[in-house]
Structure 1
Amino acid sequence: MFRGRSLPYHLNFISIFCILFFLSTFTYAQSTIIKGKVTDAKTGEPIAGVSISLLNTKIGSTTNENGFYSIVTSSSSIQLQFSFLGYKTVTKKATPGTIQTINVKMVSDAQMLTETEVRASKKLPYKNKDNPAVALIKKVIENKPINQPKNYESIEYEKYEKLVFSLSDLPQKVLDKKLLSPMKFLFENKDTLKIKGKTIYPMYMEEKISDNFYSKKLKKTKTVIKAKQQVDISKYVDQNGVSVYMNRMYADIDIYANNIFIVTNQFLSPIADNAQDSYKFFITDTIKTVEGDLVELSFTPRVKGNMMFEGNLYVTLDGRYAIKKVEMNLNKDVNLNWVRSLAINLTYSQDSLCHYYLSSSHVLSDFGFLKNKGIGVVGERTISFKDYVIDHPREDSYYNVDTVVIAANSTSQSENYWKENRIDSLSPTESKVYYNMDTLQTVPRFKSMVRITNFLITGYHSFGKFEMGPASTFFSFNELEGSRFKFGGRTLPAFNRTWYFEGYGAYGLKDEKWKYSTSVAYSLNHKSIYKFLNNYLKVGIESTAIIPGQALELSQSDGFLLSFKRGEDNKWLYTSAYKFNYVREFNNHFSYDFGFRRTEQSPALDLHYLVINDGVQTEVENLTTTDLSLRLRWAPHEQMIEGKSYRTQIPNKFPILSAKFTVGIKDFFGGDYNYQSLSGSITKRFYLSQVGYTDIALESRWVFGQVPFPLLNLVPANQTYIYSQRSFNLMNFMEFVTDHSVNVYLDHTFNGYLLNKVPLLKKLKLREFISAKMAFGALRSENDPSLHPELYQFPVNPNGIPYTYALNNTPYVELGAGIGNIFKLFRVDFIKRLTYLDNPDVASFGIRAAYIFDF
């Protein structure tokens, strides 16, 4: 769709020698290359699927959808036979040892048509067997180890990156609105040439120049960023987070890899191992260049709608079968949100020692809510490379320091520096982006629009140095508090880069009690505590009300939508705590969190802490614990979106491991019990190419010592109607307790792999999910209140039936299947509970919903 630059023509004496050497070594030195087009003699229309055979040999081919064919042979006597059902067979002679074009016009055979009653398409079934295009792609795949740059011993190069985002398809009636009149200068800077039929208005740009190093032996990379500049929007959004997410959407493309990441999804490469089983290939042209002959190899998915590409590969005929150029697009039926089109162009060059390397990469995408019309966003990432040094490895010690080094003056380079060092120049519209966006941020109306938009998206309203929110928690309701009103806020780095304050106040109309939380953090490195490389001390105090066993991974557990719950909502705790934490992060994404916490909890509503001593039942009004903890976490290659006052992880293929050790100390600040607990978790996403990806999480916790059930493991439950990945959606709060447990969470996303093959449903672009969750665990006899009545008894309802049970040898299991991408935003899961169905007030089946924004 979007054509790339012409092939580079860098050639010297040694490269000519290499090419001549390969040509003399292989049979291509005397090859005959024949190409052409087959058409209907009467209508002139191309005929697809014509069988072309080289007489007296096993060589053959077929025409593609546009009637083109190509054959390569070293035979000394060449006669081509063209045959197709319903047409008279044609035989043509070719001249050996040359490149030639033979176009064929086939005449219809009316008698044959009548006899065979051919009324359908003229296409023949596509076959891999005896298909020269398939034979060629197999050669390309076979030679990947010698052509893939990552297989060289070492690589060094300079890299220039440019990322531009533009608005597109703005109707004139929108541009004429008075609301936009103060920003008119933005829309005078337009580009009508980049995409045919579209007018685009550049709004955001970032550039980077870096030196890059790779060692195959160490399997390590190193990047030295020499210069970087970008449109400054840090006053309104997370500048670094936007950059990280955008660059993840436009990750570097390695055509030699089996799978390629595009806008957070995985696509099958056209030269992946066994690509011939997933793609159809056609030889469509041969091209002569000063660097040697190329074969144009077209490809298209066998199954439309799969996460695959379509386009052209240009393959060298120098015996290495290297990729010289790639032009490909997403196939139009792919199940990808917001993306109208996406084109990729890659160009490879060759050095004096015949090493092939990527010399330029260009990705152009068009995003929009509606598929083919309406306002959209055009994203473009251009990468250029120069000064390659291959197979001259550096000392191992060079890679022992930071993998990313940022020069001290990288963000303060002069305009002259950029003009002299850009490998590609800026277009006239791009050259105005920095100035226009700086000017825009002085427009009061723009500032107001950004504040309103930010509030609607994040729920926080900024007052410059302080922000209030989140709005979703301003009002909620529950059985204990009735209507609950809550207001909170926190300071921003603009207030102070060393001290950070946060707090809220809440009041329940039913229980007529105030709840509150306040904390202060001191940054030891004088950087934001919401940015990577944390190093801070934090103290806090709180008094609130919670549901035991509610462990949702949602950012706020007291939001309005979470007020709607199924079943009983009558077991609560009032808690008061003061706490201290010291948090430290390191460059390798290892971190630790040392904590101290004193908590006092009192049961409320139908929850009671009852003990039996000498046959007499007594109610305990409160439970006090004092504990010290150490939490360790390692998240290699972790990427985050870091806002002014939040951090959100971007999922990738690398695992996240954490462990926490806690010691409860009796009589220390009033603690009632001695105990120890050890917990750990592992989470990882497994990408499965065309079949989607699987998120797996394992959690385990062991409690040592004799303690009452509130200090044991309450298996995380969810009684809301919002789907939760890291809790059990059909389990009741406080339903199960253990002192040693393992929880397993599996959630697989098919990305439309199945539904895309259903004729009517595929138009809806729906996506399929399956899930499985299991809780394994048990309760040692020393913590069983039925054997030790001096421990808190498990809660019972008014009829004396227990609410809480110990897991036994049977795990708790629930399975789910869901449909997602409803209106591109919503997911609905149908969940079945398989075990412990005899427990009171349980649901064996449920429907849950969730909001998901994804491509």
Structure 2
Amino acid sequence: MKRILIPIFLLMVAFSYAQTKVGGVIIDEAGVTVPFANVLFKDSQEGTITNDDGRFYLESDTTYPTLIVSFIGYETQEINLSQKVNYDMKITMVESSEQLKEVVLIAGKQSKKNNPAIDILRKIWEKKRRNGLSLFDQYKYDKYEKVEFDLNTIDSSVIKSRVFKGLEFMFKDLDTSRITGKTYLPIFLNEKFSKVYGDNILQTEKEDVLGSKNSGFENNQSITAFVQDMYAEYNVYNNYIKFFDKSFTSPLSKTGIDVYNYALRDSAFIDNKWCYNIVYYPRRKNELTFKGDFWVNDTTYAIKNINLQVVKSANLNWVKDVYIEQDFDVLNDSVFLLKRDYMLTDFSYSKKEKSRGIYGKRTTVYDRHQFDQERPRDFYKTESNPFDPIVMTRDTTFWTNNRLESLNKDEKGVYQLLDTLKTVPKFKSYYNIVSILGSGYIEVDKWNMDIGDVYSVFGYNDAEGIRLRGGARTYFGQNDLWRLEGYMAYGFKDQKGKYGVSGKWLVDKKSRLIISGGNRRDIEQLGLNLTATNDVLGRSIASSSVFTVGANDRLTNINLSTFNIEMEPISNFRIRIGNSFRTLSSALPDAFSLDYVDANAAGGISSEIQQFDVNTTLIYTPGKRTIGFGVERSDINDDYSTLLLNYTRGLQGFLESDFNYSKLQFSYSQPWVLGGFGRLRSTVEVGKTFGEVPLGLLNVIPGNQTLFSLYNTFPNLDFYEFVTDTYVSVHLEHNFNGRLFSRIPILRKLDLREIVGLRGVWGELSDENIALNAPTNIPLQAPNDKIYYEYSVGIGNIFKIFRIDFNFRGNYLDAPEARPFSVTGTFGFNF
């Protein structure tokens, strides 16, 4: 999960307009809670469903005197409401023999036949491709979106805590959520207005953002990137609804009858259309499912309204509740268009009822539709810049004319009170702490500089011993057109200083023409990637890992200079042309040498490589979304594929370069979301080196002697165990997201996730290259007899942050000091 840069120490004023509020728990005669029971105000369509613990909350702007509680198998209850606010209600359901007979027909896990709700569901599948925008060749509409974050479960202990001392004015007025009944304090608001154009014949769509406005965080694109990644677009008609990097089975899915129970609850006229009301809830716990209900038209079988709430038992971290509402407008007798989409997320460490957290709320409104206005294909290729200063600084008149839904009182207060908060020193301190933890940099505004990154200060390896590093970068804003960055480091064992410096400049925004260059002198663990490093500031975890397996003494002194020109002629297609000059030598010659045969050297052997290379790289990332328009942009999704083609040409003699050679490499990485079966990562890479080159320029199969699980490496290989000049490698890793463990009663409540991996590589090393590198003091071998492979099984989500992998070596077990088994792990904050 991306680092979340959402400061949670801000403010707001709010007011409660609701006239009727009810909340409590529903139990049966034995005192056992009743999940998924129906709760609604009498003579209305306003209702909800109890959660996994039988609890509910419901409110309305209208005053209602009676509450209706029902569930299949129980007598329907009518509860008189003596006052407008009724909390902590305890309602006991009584079994009904007559209603229990209905379970056989339309609910439960016993039979899916003769169920009118499922008959209607099949009609929805049949008609879903003939609904909404898909009915038209072309379409255009206005789209207004607002995203809000709130602190929730505010009580006197929070207000009086030391954290908020001096900030008590933030809590002058508090509101309660109409979904959960909790008090909340709005702290962040983002608005965006766009025009969306689409062509169903060309199968293309584009969105022009005309206005964007953040409350108090105008320059913090990290917040906006996180919001866009978290609240990606979804379609309830799809078989799976994806958010938080998880795929939830849609209640309208064709696999829904195997995942959900359905029951026909009601029918009524809505906007002069006769509609059926169907309730659904999951068949099993711990799966990524919803509970809720939907209204569907009786002739078009188009959805008129749908509510989805993630079940409490779902295997989802840091999220206690997710609630979605979608309303569809009746355009004419046969067309239903999405009118309003509302999503509320309750972020919290614990799923306990009284735990505190943060609400994330997104409201999207669609209006002013136009159809069948054909536009040329080139029209859809041009993209607007959502972070253009003009877009980010629209005036009040613009927002008055284009807000498709007015701000309420508490939302208006966010803009007003954040201006006040930014002048409060204590708030500024809190905000700075959160920014440092999220970005890794300490901002020094008066120097237009950032100090960091703070996560790279300490390191250790066999050559340097304890290592300290400090760095800085220029920073005028997140859309800087140029940036300088550098670091210095010192090893206490070798008593040597190291450094790296780089600069980059965005020459042309439209083509994203970037000129960059830099120099680095440091110690590096090479061989963690099949492609040679040209990063003058990056550093692998193996180079600084405190704990390793076996001897970690195959380190390299590197002096690297680079110059590159990069451009993006079309979206997500980059062309990079550059050159590099590197000098390589062993950092520990007694344990590891880079020696090679050199007739021109004294003794016929050289221990240092000097090499000038010219590189051409093509990178295509279809589906990748980014944020910002400066020289550095942030990714806002990770579900895109990457195709990379790299050609390297070594030029002997130029700048006393040692070797003539060519190297061609291609890689293809693709994440696969396999619906309810989890997520698969795959990478295929091939490469070949033409010509004779020393060990430092060959392709080392990426071993891994650290204790960390590193994708695209082989954890049971030592560094430099396999060396090739021709190779093919495949890496597969599948995360089932708890689908298997959720079926095991003992493990179900632990929310563990199962991961399996398979990786293999074949390669060869020519006789000429073996002869050239004969003086090295390590064995040179390639996996050419048979494909070298490993497999692994892992358990993730241990205490929500840890993952452990058990790795097994499949063959080449007779190699000296071969490691047939290893245990690696990692940690992170993932949904």
Q: TM-score, normalization: structure 2?
A: 0.83
Do the aligned partners of residues 579 and 375 (structure 1) sit closer, same or farther apart at CA in structure 2, a change above 3 Å counting? same
Q: More displaced, 634-643 or 838-847?
A: 634-643
Aligned residue for 1:99? Answer: none
Aligned residue for 1:185? Answer: 169
SS in structure 2 of the partner of residue 455 of structure 1: helix
- Select which of 525, 531, 545 maps to 1:547: 525
Aligned residue for 1:32? Answer: none
How far the C-alpha of 1:555 sits from its partner, in A, is 6.3
How far the C-alpha of 1:458 sits from its partner, in A, is 3.8
How far the C-alpha of 1:208 sits from its partner, in A, is 1.5
How far the C-alpha of 1:427 sits from its partner, in A, is 1.6
Aligned residue for 2:822? Answer: 846
User: 2-side partners of 1:295 and 1:585: how far apart?
Assistant: 51
Aligned residue for 1:513? Answer: 496
- The residue type equivalent to 1:46 in the other structure is S
- Select which of 503, 506, 514 maps to 1:523: 506
Aligned residue for 1:472? Answer: 455
Aligned residue for 1:764? Answer: 750
How far the C-alpha of 1:48 sits from its partner, in A, is 7.8
Aligned residue for 2:268? Answer: 287
- The residue type equivalent to 2:278 in the other structure is L
Which digits, 9 at most, give the CA deviation of each residue in 1:273-326, with x for residues without a partner?
Answer: 243233221111111345122111111222222212221121111x22221111
Aligned residue for 1:713? Answer: 699
Aligned residue for 1:20? Answer: none
Q: Is the 8 A contact 1:524 1:537 kept in 2?
A: yes
SS in structure 2 of the partner of residue 723 of structure 1: coil
- Select which of 454, 473, 486 maps to 1:490: 473
Q: Does 1:198 align with 2:178?
A: no
SS in structure 2 of the partner of residue 571 of structure 1: coil
Which digits, 9 at most, give the CA deviation of each residue in 1:210-268, with x for residues without a partner?
Answer: 22121110011122223221123256xxx233223212322233111121112331111
User: 2-side partners of 1:132 and 1:232: how far apart?
Assistant: 52
5+ residue gaps, structure 2: 1-37, 47-69, 78-92
User: 2-side partners of 1:647 and 1:125: how far apart?
Assistant: 50
How far the C-alpha of 1:363 sits from its partner, in A, is 1.0
Q: Is the 8 A contact 1:49 1:63 kept in 2?
A: no
SS in structure 2 of the partner of residue 430 of structure 1: helix
How far the C-alpha of 1:151 sits from its partner, in A, is 4.8
- The residue type equivalent to 1:410 in the other structure is V
- Select which of 347, 358, 377 maps to 2:338: 358
Q: Does 1:810 align with 2:786?
A: yes
- Select which of 761, 773, 792 maps to 1:792: 773
- Select which of 588, 592, 607 maps to 2:592: 607
Q: Is the 8 A contact 2:239 2:255 kept in 1?
A: no
Q: Does 1:243 align with 2:243?
A: no
Aligned residue for 2:442? Answer: 461
Q: Does 1:666 align with 2:649?
A: no
Q: Does 1:752 align with 2:728?
A: no
Do the aligned partners of residues 193 and 751 (structure 1) sit closer, same or farther apart at CA in structure 2, a change above 3 Å counting? closer
- Select which of 27, 32, 45 maps to 2:95: 45
Q: Is the 8 A contact 1:544 1:574 kept in 2?
A: yes
User: 2-side partners of 1:671 and 1:561: how far apart?
Assistant: 30
- Select which of 684, 692, 695 maps to 2:678: 692
Aligned residue for 1:730? Answer: 716
Aligned residue for 2:9? Answer: none
Aligned residue for 1:273? Answer: 254
- The residue type equivalent to 2:360 in the other structure is G
How far the C-alpha of 1:503 sits from its partner, in A, is 1.6
Do the aligned partners of residues 499 and 457 (structure 1) sit closer, same or farther apart at CA in structure 2, a change above 3 Å counting? closer
Q: Is the 8 A contact 1:675 1:703 kept in 2?
A: yes
- Select which of 618, 625, 629 maps to 2:611: 625
Which digits, 9 at most, give the CA deviation of each residue in 1:490-524, with x for residues without a partner?
Answer: 22135994542222222222222222222233332
Aligned residue for 1:370? Answer: 350
How far the C-alpha of 1:610 sits from its partner, in A, is 4.0
Q: More displaced, 166-175 or 769-778?
A: 166-175
How far the C-alpha of 1:393 sits from its partner, in A, is 3.8
How far the C-alpha of 1:560 sits from its partner, in A, is 9.2
User: 2-side partners of 1:585 and 1:607: how far apart?
Assistant: 41
Do the aligned partners of residues 338 and 348 (structure 1) sit closer, same or farther apart at CA in structure 2, a change above 3 Å counting? same
Aligned length: 742
Aligned residue for 1:107? Answer: none
Q: Is the 8 A contact 2:225 2:635 kept in 1?
A: no
Aligned residue for 2:573? Answer: 590
- The residue type equivalent to 1:698 in the other structure is V
User: 2-side partners of 1:733 and 1:771: how far apart?
Assistant: 20
User: 2-side partners of 1:581 and 1:839: how far apart?
Assistant: 41
- Select which of 113, 131, 134 maps to 1:150: 134
The percent of aligned pairs where both chains have the same amino acid is 29
User: 2-side partners of 1:728 and 1:571: how far apart?
Assistant: 16
- Select which of 282, 290, 306 maps to 1:326: 306
Q: TM-score, normalization: structure 1?
A: 0.81
How far the C-alpha of 1:163 sits from its partner, in A, is 0.8
For 1:129-148, what aligned pairs fall within 5 Å after superposition?
A: 129-148=113-132
Which digits, 9 at most, give the CA deviation of each residue in 1:616-652, with x for residues without a partner?
Answer: 9754231111111111111122124679997654444
Q: More displaced, 836-845 or 445-454?
A: 445-454
Which digits, 9 at most, give the CA deviation of each residue in 1:172-201, with x for residues without a partner?
Answer: 233223542343333225212534431100
Q: Is the 8 A contact 1:338 1:369 kept in 2?
A: yes
How far the C-alpha of 1:545 sits from its partner, in A, is 1.3
User: 1-side partners of 2:399 and 2:40: how far apart?
Assistant: 27
User: 2-side partners of 1:812 and 1:446: how far apart?
Assistant: 56
5+ residue gaps, structure 1: 9-34, 53-59, 65-123, 786-790, 797-801
Do the aligned partners of residues 567 and 618 (structure 1) sit closer, same or farther apart at CA in structure 2, a change above 3 Å counting? farther
Aligned residue for 1:571? Answer: 554
Q: Is the 8 A contact 1:49 1:62 kept in 2?
A: no
User: 2-side partners of 1:701 and 1:780: how far apart?
Assistant: 14
Q: More displaced, 368-377 or 397-406?
A: 397-406
Q: Is the 8 A contact 1:562 1:722 kept in 2?
A: no
